[in-house]
Amino acid sequence: MQRWDLRSLFAPRLVVHAHCDIPCGIYDPSAAKVAADTVAKMVEKIQGFAKEIPTAQGAAEVTARNNFVRSISVKEEHAQIVKKELLILWSDYFKPEHLEKYPQLHDTFWKAAKLCSKNKQTVDAQAAADLQAAVKEISDIFWATKKQ
Amino acid sequence: MRPATLLFRVAVTGPSMEPTVRDGDWLLVRQLRRAPRVGELVVAVDPREPERLLVKRVSAVDGDQVSVAGDQQERSTDSRHFGPLPASAVLGRPVLRYAPLQRAGLIR
């Protein structure tokens, strides 16, 4: 008992990290966030170009159509990036002890992944905003676990 | 995060500074009131997470920019990944290991 008291008397209150993140992986939800923001931006752009196309003429029409298709392609690609980045966090970063603290974690990831698919299938500002919110929720949980 | 006292105690976690300091070591750290020097062990604020402290070795000093590295290159995340730190991020220099007792002694 006395020994324990001595121990707590001398125990440091600060921790210094001599860690390696590399073999264990550096995890960061910001890539998913940037990709989700890109999806939302592309939804905006697609809707803008869709309005432009019917009134554009000649070269301007070709440019508008080109931009329209490119925006769709970028939206598709970045929705997939969100899915991939979330999968990395879900499968590699989060551990059973995180799940105990955040029991909704699996459901949150599942819904976020489904929102990625929905954003591929649709041009829907609400779906894009929902995806951004889902990524933010995961990001908040991630940073909360880092603080412990 | 900057400690108020000239000397402060820290507990080491992680393998990147073996064998100089090991996981579980308790160290006495002296606040650094001068520019860090190449080759010395330092305690610094993690540039990625201001609440987190690192213990690393100074690998380069360029004006106000200090690069740090782990002694175990394969098992360290350091300036090779997150870049140099401002000199102000360096808080102090471990001077003494006081636990475990069998390895207690001055740190070089």
Structural domain spans, chain A: 29-147
Q: What is the pLDDT of residue B3?
A: 81
Interchain CB distance below 8 Å, A20 and B8: no
How many interchain CB pairs under 8 A, A with B?
A: 85
* Predicted pLDDT of residue B94: 96
Calculate mean pLDDT across residues A102-127: 97
CATH of A29-147, picked from 3.40.50.300, 3.40.50.2300, 1.40.20.10, 1.20.120.400, is 1.20.120.400
The answer to whether residue A78 scores a pLDDT higher than 80 is yes
Question: How do residues A26-35 score in pLDDT, each as one tens digit?
Answer: 678 988 999 9
In this structure, the number of other CB atoms found within 10 A of the CB of residue B40 comes to: 14
Residue in chain B lying closest to A15 (CA): B11
Walking along chain B (108 residues) 10 residues at a time, the average pLDDT comes out as 85 87 92 93 90 92 92 76 90 94 90
Q: Report the distance separating Cα B82 and Cα B85, nearest Å.
A: 8
CATH fold, domain B7-106, is Umud Fragment, subunit A (2.10.109)
Instruction: Identify the pLDDT of residue A23.
Output: 42
Which residue among B14, B81, B98 sits closest to A18, beta carbon to beta carbon? B14
Q: State percent of chain A over pLDDT 90.
A: 68
pLDDT band at A22 (very low <50, low <70, confident <90, very high): very low
Q: Which pLDDT score is estimated for A53?
A: 96
Q: Where are the domains of chain B?
A: 7-106
Tell me what pLDDT residue B37 has.
94
Task: Please tell me the distance from the alpha carbon of residue B85 to that of residue A29, in angstroms, as a whole number.
Answer: 23
Which residue is closest to A27 within chain B, CA to CA? B48
Give me the pLDDT at residue A147, please. Answer: 67
pLDDT of res. B105? 93
| Residues sharing a CB contact under 8 Å with residue A34, sequence separation 6 or more, in sequence order | none
Distance CA B13, CA B21 (A): 9
- The answer to whether A23 contacts B49, with C-beta atoms less than 8 Å apart, is no
Inter-chain CB proximity B77 and A16 less than 8 Å: no
ipTM of the modeled complex: 0.86
Output A53 or A14, whichever has higher pLDDT: A53
Shortest Cα distance from A26 to chain B (angstroms)? 9
Beta-bridge partners for B44: B54, B90
Q: Which of A141, A147, A20, A94 is nearest to B82 (CA)?
A: A20
Number of H helices, E strands in chain B: 1, 8
Q: How high is the pLDDT of residue A134?
A: 98
Tell me which chain A residue has its CA closest to the CA of residue B2.
A14
State the number of CA atoms in the 13 A half-sphere of B26 facing the CB. 15
